[in-house]
Amino acid sequence: MGNTTKKILVTGANGQLGQCIYDIRSKFETYELIFASSKELNITNDESLNSFFSNKRFEYIINCAAYTNVDLAEKEPEKAFLINAEGVKKLVAICKVQNSKLIHISTDYVFDGTKGYPYTETDVPNPINVYGKSKLQGEQYIQEALTVFFIVRTSWLYSQHGKNFYKTILDKVKTVKELTITTAETGTPTNANDLADFILYLIMKDVKEYGVYHFSNLGEATWFDFAKEILKKNNQLGLITLKSTDNYPTFAKRPAYSVLSKNLIKKTFEIPIRDWNAALMKI
């Protein structure tokens, strides 16, 4: 008898979501999880892909590999498209050959932000920056070639791992007396640990309702609201002057309103989704 343990691959394992999945790896009970950073598996490189997959087969591939620097993407669009679109296309080809189920993480930035109320999975994407365009192209490659996939769009991801807005705000408290944060964008902060739990659910329940889903925490906030709550939860609100502005120039255009509707997930699955404020624990 050979080893029949089913394997799950997590690409982009050094990113914050990859690390949050690593933290709950024991909950994947019957599966063996393989975590591959971009050094171990470069999804844009055929040689790297061929040698990595030559003697391994995966039941699921969770693609957390992404180019996520929204402003820098405007200056290096080729790199953003290489990772977020062409790299995804290469993974899709492997999923077809291996018969692997793909769980791919996408973004609220595939929308233009003009709708004014929460975006559903059937709303037509219209990205307004390079990052959003590159992520949408990746989604399209998946939908054109596969039937067994989950594209999970999420928003404003943060956690105890990696670089993110939550950690940046707490770092700033140590070095500056005053912070100016924008109110021009409304979205939903999402705890990456909650997203990791949703991915766990999809796998452990062997969910067959494939397709595109929106997963973020519930409710909505501006970046200013988010910053204020971060400081409040960490008892640091009085240590810094927080100012709001509706005019904070960034290199990339960002959607003014990118809240994602969770109605499809609520209707399809029996999982509790936390309000963004409740999910904002001291991390």
SS3 of residue 74 by DSSP:
helix
Who's near 50: CB < 8 A, 6+ residues apart? none
Which class for 20: exposed (0-12), middle (13-18), buried (19 or more C-beta within 10 A)?
buried
CA distances to 47, 80, 136, 167 from 90, rounded to whole Å, are 11, 15, 15, 33
Query: Per the residue annotation, which of 131, 141, 213, 257 is the catalytic one?
Result: 131
Q: Which residues pair with 25 in a beta bridge?
A: none
Q: β-pairing, 149-154 with 211-214? A: parallel
72, 16, 168, 255 alpha-carbon torsion, rounded to 10°: 50
Q: Return the structure tokens found at 246.
A: 């509706």
Let me know if 201 is a catalytic residue. no
**Residues carrying an active site annotation:** 131
